[in-house]
Amino acid sequence: MAPEDLFAGDATDATPLIWLLESEFEAWAAQQSEARRRWLAVQRIKPSHRAPVWLPPDTADEHPSVLLIAKQDESFETLARAVEALPEGCFELAGDLPDLQAGHLGWALGGYVFDRYTRAAAPKARLKASASKDFARVMRIARAIWLARDLINTPASDLLPSHLSEIAEETAKHTGAECRVTVGDELLAAGFGAIHAVGRASADPPRLIDITWGNLDHPKVTLVGKGVCFDSGGLDIKSAEGMKLMKKDMGGAAIALALARLIIEQALPVRLRLLLPTVENAISGNAFRPGDILKTYKGTTVEIGNTDAEGRLILADALALGAEESPDLMLDFATLTGAARIALGVALPAMFANSKTLADGILAEGESVGDPVWQLPLHAPYKWQIKSKVADLNNAGYGPFNGAIYAALFLQEFVGESIDWAHFDLMAWNTRKRPGHPVGGDCPSLHAVYSYLEQEFGR
């Protein structure tokens, strides 16, 4: 199933969906027939009612209709609730529509179901939509989010580095991009010592996926995604409880891959590069150890303070590679620290940026499209926490505080000073159901960042 399957094209027999803002309800109700006003009163329908409301016909010739009441700026949530609640049938939006694009996206994401391993019931309601340019754009955004959710929800048994590599290569082939994959001991020969060390204990060898697309004369945009397909914690092994959701530790790679596909499908005028360091952090006789010192692609040495702080290690190699060509913008996405979740919860990604203009732009677009992010500081005085007495850096830091900040500071060491860069530390998982956001894998920041790129480079 795809997002487009939740919509009907030229269906003529459609039930009207009367879409009102909360502030418009009283005026609308006053214009209804006496029978309908009495029915609304009996049903105790108020402006704050959020579930779809069935309205009986006023005459024998009239069809029933459905009333949707939305708060201001809740177009997404309103249609996301509706697609789940309405029965099988075709529906058509009527009246002055508050935000049609947000509504269509809400319908598309509210209807998402991960059904690869079960016969989960998909919504049966279909929304009539015109084949407009705006609708096509919304469907591409929805497909990107569905792709990221599917990848994050897939267990490691079916999404190890080799599987993710196949998906990335197929994506490149489908979109006309170029793809190069460096595998196993080839990583050592190419200088990617951190990626190799983190992934070498797995029976499925580590990989660096490198995809490029676009005109060389266009602004260079580089995306990097943390692809830890499963994280046992390594020799600093996680608890059973801590390991339960570690199939989602490749959420950053899923977001970056889906975002890259969206950029290509929308033909943004950029020179795109996608770097996905992809590993399983496993345990075996050749696993990397606490106290080991790794040489990264940049040449910087890193003492291993904790093998469960592996994400920043593989990102370091990829960021250093991306920085070599001095892109106009570099963005990385990672399920990196529990500290960011303690600070901001599971739904709000932490963003670190070395440019105020960049940060302000992404923050504004996130608010505009209903995909908020929150900026945390790259507080330079905390850099002492990533120093080592026997190497250039330590991957684990010192002390129990500000873990998200010193992780971001660690990554900053591998980004060129002249490069505009932002780092997103996110959960990639919903622990409770919200409209358009089911429990399971999700990709906060994807829509916000795409909207920013479209505003910045799409002119």
Spatial separation of the C-alpha atoms in residues 20 and 35, rounded to whole Å: 20
* Contacts (Cβ under 8 Å, ≥6 apart) of 134: 100, 101
Two tokens, residue 113 = 């179901």
| 227 sits in which H/E element | strand 227-231
The DSSP annotation for 113-145 comes to ---SSS-PPPP-EEEE----HHHHHHHHHHHHH
357: how many CB neighbours lie within 10 A of its CB?
A: 10
Output Rg (C-alpha) for the chain, integer angstroms.
Answer: 24
Tokens 């590993």 belong to residue: 279
Among 220, 248, 312, 341, the one annotated catalytic: 312
Beta bridge partners of residue 227, listed in sequence order: 278
In this structure, are residues 67 and 53 in contact, taking their beta carbons and an 8 Å threshold?
A: yes
Is 238 designated active site? Answer: yes
DSSP helix/strand/coil, 423: strand
Please provide the size of the chain in residues: 459
Q: Provide the terminal-to-terminal Cα distance of the chain, rounded to the nearest Å.
A: 33
Degrees to nearest 5, angle at CA 171 with 166 and 173: 95
144 burial level (CB within 10 Å; 0-12, 13-18, 19+): buried
| Annotated catalytic residue within 36, 137, 238, 295 | 238
C-alpha 395/C-alpha 234 separation (Å) is 14
Residue numbers annotated as active site: 238, 312
